[in-house]
Amino acid sequence: MIALQTLKKRSAERMGKVKPIVKEKALLLIARAYEEKICVQISSGYRSLERQAALYGQGRKDYVWRGKSYGSAGPIVTNAKPGQSVHNEGRAVDFFLVTSDGSKALWNVDNRWKRVAAIAKEIGFLWGGDWSSFPDYPHLEWSESSYDVLRRGDKGRAVSELQRTLCASGYHLKIDGSFGPRTEAAVKQFQEDHAIEVDGLVGPITQSLLSRH
């Protein structure tokens, strides 16, 4: 199986000048998927306005931007003009899967692809595959309001608040600001009780349900 560090290195090179938080979370996604024997790479990240113009011009042969023709043949791949894409802000990446030896790209949106998207959403990304009007299955977008995922090993005020909320919801545990095995067990029980994925990670879905208690 291809080395995790190789996947990370390839991806970091292709991300370009994305925001540091986006790079951090994208590399975390690669590592999390690798734990499930799914090999993920990032195909692109930061996108210049000129590159955006070229992409927007594909399928729009008469497209001109800033006095230059960017129109080209082929299918339309984006509805975002230069300056309208979060890629231009360094807040998005595109991903794809590769074979276990890393030699071939895999673009089929199958269960493994959707599993990677689910992990990405737990981490805090928005997935373009959820868009109804123009699904963009490789697209992962970081929102400034994206949740930070809490997991076993984390410490601090956010963990203490999580523990208080769990206690108030009837899941009794010590409030010590340390996300240990007992906190993880309480989170998993909460997830099971609310019929969501039981993974012990406190991501957007789990946090949203906790906020109602």
Residue 109 confidence (pLDDT): 97
Contact call for residues 173 and 187 (beta carbons, < 8 A)? no
Segment 104-115, tens digit of pLDDT: 999 999 999 999
Residue 139: how many CB atoms within 10 A of its CB? 23
Helices (H), 74-130: 111-123
Q: Residue 125 forms beta bridges with which residues?
A: 142
Domain assignment of residue 71, yes or no: no
Domain assignment of residue 69, yes or no: no
Residue 167 has pLDDT above 70, yes or no: yes
Domain assignment of residue 54, yes or no: no
Query: Stretch 94-103: mean pLDDT, rounded?
Result: 97
d(CA 200, CA 194): 13
Domain assignment of residue 57, yes or no: no
Q: Lowest-confidence range among 10-14, 26-30, 35-39, 192-196?
A: 192-196
d(CA 58, CA 62): 10
Q: Which residues of 74-112 are buried (b: 16+ CB within 10 A; e: fewer)?
A: eeeebebbbeebbbbebbbbbbbbbeeeeeeebeeeeeb
Q: Lowest-confidence range among 91-95, 107-111, 120-124, 207-211?
A: 207-211
Same domain, 121 and 161: no
Same domain, 12 and 108: yes
> 23 lies in which domain range?
4-47+85-142
Domain assignment of residue 67, yes or no: no
Tokens describing residue 146 = 């994206």
- The greatest distance separating any two alpha carbons of the chain, rounded to the nearest whole angstrom, comes to 65
Domain assignment of residue 187, yes or no: yes
CB proximity list for 116: less than 8 A, separation 6 or greater? 29, 33, 38, 40, 95, 97
CATH of the domain at 33: 3.30.1380.10
Domain assignment of residue 147, yes or no: no
Residue 188 confidence (pLDDT): 95
Position 210 confidence tier, pLDDT thresholds 50, 70, 90: confident
d(CA 21, CA 144): 10
CATH of the domain at 205: 1.10.101.10
Q: Which residue bears the tokens 């996108």?
A: 47
Same domain, 110 and 170: no
| Total number of domains in the chain | 2
Segment 47-84, tens digit of pLDDT: 999 999 999 999 999 999 999 999 999 999 888 899 88
d(CA 76, CA 119): 28
CA triple 93-137-23, angle to 5 deg? 15
Same domain, 89 and 133: yes
Same domain, 95 and 36: yes
